[in-house]
Structure 1
Amino acid sequence: MPDPIPDLTGRLAVVTGASRGIGYFIARHMAAAGAHVIAVARTVGGLEELDDEIKAEHARTGKGEATLVPLDLADMEGIDRLGGAIHERWGKLDILVANAGVLGTISPLGHIEAKTFEKVMAINVTSTWRLIRSVDPLLRLSDAGRAIILSSNAAHSARAFWGPYAASKAAVETMMRSWADETKNYPLRVNAADPGATRTAMRAQAVPGEDPETLPHPSEIAARIVPMASPELTRTGQTYQAKHDRWVSYQQPA
């Protein structure tokens, strides 16, 4: 069974891709656990719906708040400004959930258009690096900084036709492990989460003939990922497979 959702009262969390799917429910669960969630996404309507849910929960329990940040992660300078704005207002950051990503096209590598490949790399890899660069100093100022990078088993299975997406997730997992090694002497813990097949719009795009009712709801998967933000967590540089409730280390011994 997954760990219980921790008490995040007083913690400040950035969640990207927070307007729908797994990111939406991670943001909701974190707010319900007491965190102030900085919710980042392109879709304003989804962010407003999230805000309504968090406000309703706050009215019931007195826990959780949200700050909405409409931002396209293709706007690299906007990501830089996000870190500066957090520093100016709060002075530190406790949790980063780098969830936003795009699938691209399920197709043979030789058939993929250059603009599609470049978009997958820009959103999934470059913007994740830019986000890390923007908030790394803020996470180091936390007494228990936690970074969760959303990955995928595609990074390791390297299945036919999934080339760009698989390569992008392999890249972010490698960055995660490097970042974890760089910060191992700090209170910061950096890990990746592989949600597995989940009932999301991206999954429906990737496997259109699949019955979504056979897949776990994103709220269930989000509830398994949120414990990775616990101040009590000791692991770093590893991947958590939410579907199977297990940790896996892909890093080879030195």
Structure 2
Amino acid sequence: MTDKLLEGRVALVTGASRGIGRAVALDLAAKGAHVIATARTQGGLEELDDAIRAAGGQATLVPLDLMQSDGIEKLAGIVKERWQKLDILVANAGVLGELTPASHVSAKTWNSVFGINVIAPARLIRAFEPLLMASDAGRAVFLTSGAARNRKPYWAPYAASKAALDALVESWAKEHMSSALRINLFNPGPTRTAMRAKAFPGEDPMTLPAPEAVAPAISALCLPSSKRHAEWVSFPDET
């Protein structure tokens, strides 16, 4: 039986319909949080909701395209009206783009990758910072990648976007060195996800950790008791 370490807390998870986002949403709900789950896929969200409720948890589903001009801001307004705070933000949604020479990347791909991987997190920060500050122990975790630091050929859009995300989040975190808000980046490493399969089609996925194995490490950063701040945390965490 899972301890209800997050009883009474409200958590927002983006990209929650599959992969790591789904696993994190399930884990946070199992720990007692009310999960606001967002994704573009209605069917995936409904399956997540069924799983959360079957385990005795609670969720609010929000079909949302993070590229929508005002969707994030409208969601923040709804959260403020209903809960007056946000305790946990897990910014998991991300896209790979194309693995191709940098000179071949289209403007559409650059806009899409940076839109989801950088601009959407920046909008989440702007929209939800006041609600996270209204919590007695606000926690924000942004999913990054080793590609941000180990920049391989043909990975320009994804690597550049994750490097930009790191800079964004690290700068924001340092603005909150004296507040109760704790902000961290989390690198899950190679994980058995659809994005990983797209990037490495010849790899045996069964040699990789499942999202369910990674999720508790992310949830640990979301606990009120967690003091970690302004860190780049990798899985498995050796600290």
Give TM-score scaled by structure 2 length: 0.97
CA distance in 2, matches of 1:193, 1:82: 24
Q: In structure 2, which of residues 195, 215, 218 is the aligned counterpart of residue 202 of structure 1?
A: 195
CA distance in 2, matches of 1:76, 1:169: 22
CA distance in 2, matches of 1:177, 1:246: 20
Partner residue, 2:169: 176
CA distance in 2, matches of 1:125, 1:5: 34
CA distance in 1, matches of 2:124, 2:93: 11
Deviation at 1:76, TM superposition (A): 3.2
CA distance in 1, matches of 2:3, 2:188: 16
For 2:169, the aligned partner's letter is M
Deviations 1:95-150 (A, max 9, x none): 00000000000111011111111100011100110111110000001100000000
CA distance in 2, matches of 1:146, 1:6: 17
Structure 2: runs of 5 or more not aligned: none
CA distance in 2, matches of 1:217, 1:37: 21
Structure 1: runs of 5 or more not aligned: 59-63, 248-254
Deviations 1:16-48 (A, max 9, x none): 000000000100000000000000100000000
CA distance in 1, matches of 2:28, 2:41: 20
For 1:113, the aligned partner's letter is S
Partner residue, 1:16: 14
Q: State whether residues 14 and 91 of structure 2, in contact with CA within 8 Å, keep that contact through their aligned partners in structure 1.
A: yes
Q: State whether residues 85 and 131 of structure 2, in contact with CA within 8 Å, keep that contact through their aligned partners in structure 1.
A: yes
Q: In structure 2, which of residues 54, 57, 63 is the aligned counterpart of residue 56 of structure 1?
A: 54
Moved over 2 A (4+): none
Partner residue, 1:99: 92
Q: CA RMSD in A?
A: 1.2
Q: State whether residues 4 and 32 of structure 2, in contact with CA within 8 Å, keep that contact through their aligned partners in structure 1.
A: no
Give TM-score scaled by structure 1 length: 0.91
- Are 1:47 and 2:39 counterparts? no
Partner residue, 1:73: 66
CA distance in 2, matches of 1:5, 1:206: 36
Partner residue, 1:234: 227
Work out the number of aligned pairs and report it: 238
Partner residue, 1:114: 107
